[in-house]
Amino acid sequence: MSILKFWIAGLITTVAAIGVSVPSWALPLSPGDRLRLFVAGEEEIPEAERFSATYEVNLDGYIKFPYLDPIAAAGREVSEIEEDLVKALLEGGFFQPDFLKVSIQLFEWAPIQVTVGGAVFEPGRVLINDTDSKGRDLPASIATVSGDYPPERYLTFAILTAGGIKPNANIEQVRLVRGEQEQVIDLSGVFSGSPVEDIPLIAGDQIIVPTRELPQYYLARPSQLTPSTIPVFLSNLTNPNNGRELRIQEVEYGSRLSQAVIAASCVGGTESTNADRRALLLQTDRTTGETLAIERSVEDLVKKPNDEQVNPVLMPRDSVACYDSTVTNVKSVFDFIGDIFNPIRIIKDIFIP
């Protein structure tokens, strides 16, 4: 598809987003997409000899119609395939020009693979539009329903499938590479509410989300480009040998360390024993493998909740652990000494949950 059509596809999508209907062929085709061909006047012809049927774009990007040379389909629109087919049928002498009426309609969009890199949490190749087929196992004579809407074949969904954007993503300069063509897309409207040019994708597209030097924490909230919730590992152990207080908690994306500390029951209780508790945040970059350790006083987290340096935003699979205060640690020492002189208490702890 030409560069002009590549840009027109994005423009059509933007118009659709504000309430104007567009033809079903606004998305380019990919291998695995299925089309339904109708040729008028074939009702009296034996079914095995009809051109009318359901066809699928092959892995090489072509569609094979009976008695005709393969027609290139990948990266093109349905209207273009229809024009080529009419030309081939007339040149092959199968129909007279005055009697040939052909209609090709989209029947089903296939799953496609694209690559996503840059400032996303899980860069790599992703499979999008991986939905159950609505008629792949049906005979062609039954699978006559046409039309399909693939919301998961768009740019924003591909980025979300790759884990979503990081806070340091430059969403105003997202690059879409298709073969030798490249387009820069501004996705800032996902967060501001302005119109968004959400581009339909085809198999093999490459998406690159540029990285900014400084993070923009307003991006850390649920959206089309970010996850709704993230998993966080929480640990609040008075006795490190007791693993019952270690758990995985789903928190809303954009939550801060102070909220994880509260979820781990590290805040509150007796002031003399809990006022000096500390929290440890471990953040691991899954791309580089680097781990950052941040230690904060629980009291500081409560007093300075809006300070990003004191109370950072949580990222997926962060680990949060609470350390006991000095008073609690001293109490643990006396408990340990008491266990030595009172072994019955140890036996009770073992057999009584």
C-alpha R_g of the chain: 30
Distance (Å, whole) CA 147 – CA 348: 68
Q: Which fold has domain 3-209?
A: wza like fold (3.30.1950)
pLDDT for 212-240, tens place per residue? 999 999 999 999 999 999 999 998 765 44
Q: Where are the domains of the chain?
A: 3-209, 229-330
Three-state SS at 26: helix
Q: How far is CA 59 from CA 56, 79, 288, 339, in A?
A: 9, 20, 35, 70
- Vertex 144, ends 139 and 150: CA angle to 5°? 105
Q: Which residues of the chain have pLDDT under 70?
A: 1-26, 132-148, 237-246, 268-275, 324-353
Please give the Cα distance from 212 to 190 (Å, whole number).
18
What confidence tens digit (pLDDT) does each residue in 166-210 have?
999 999 999 999 989 999 999 999 999 999 989 999 999 999 999
Q: Find out whether 63 and 73 touch, Cβ atoms under 8 Å.
A: yes
Domain 229-330 has CATH 3.10.20: yes
Find, among 336, 309, 91, 296, the residue nearest to 217 by Cα.
Answer: 309
| Predicted pLDDT of residue 237 | 60
pLDDT for 329: 46
Helices assigned H by DSSP within the chain: 3-17, 78-91, 155-161, 189-192, 257-263, 271-274, 298-303, 326-341, 343-351
Q: Using an 8 Å Cβ cutoff, are 159 and 120 in contact?
A: yes
Q: How far apart are CA 60 and CA 203, in angstroms?
A: 11
- Residue type present at position 204: G
Nearest in space to 30 (alpha carbons), one of 63, 2, 5, 3: 63
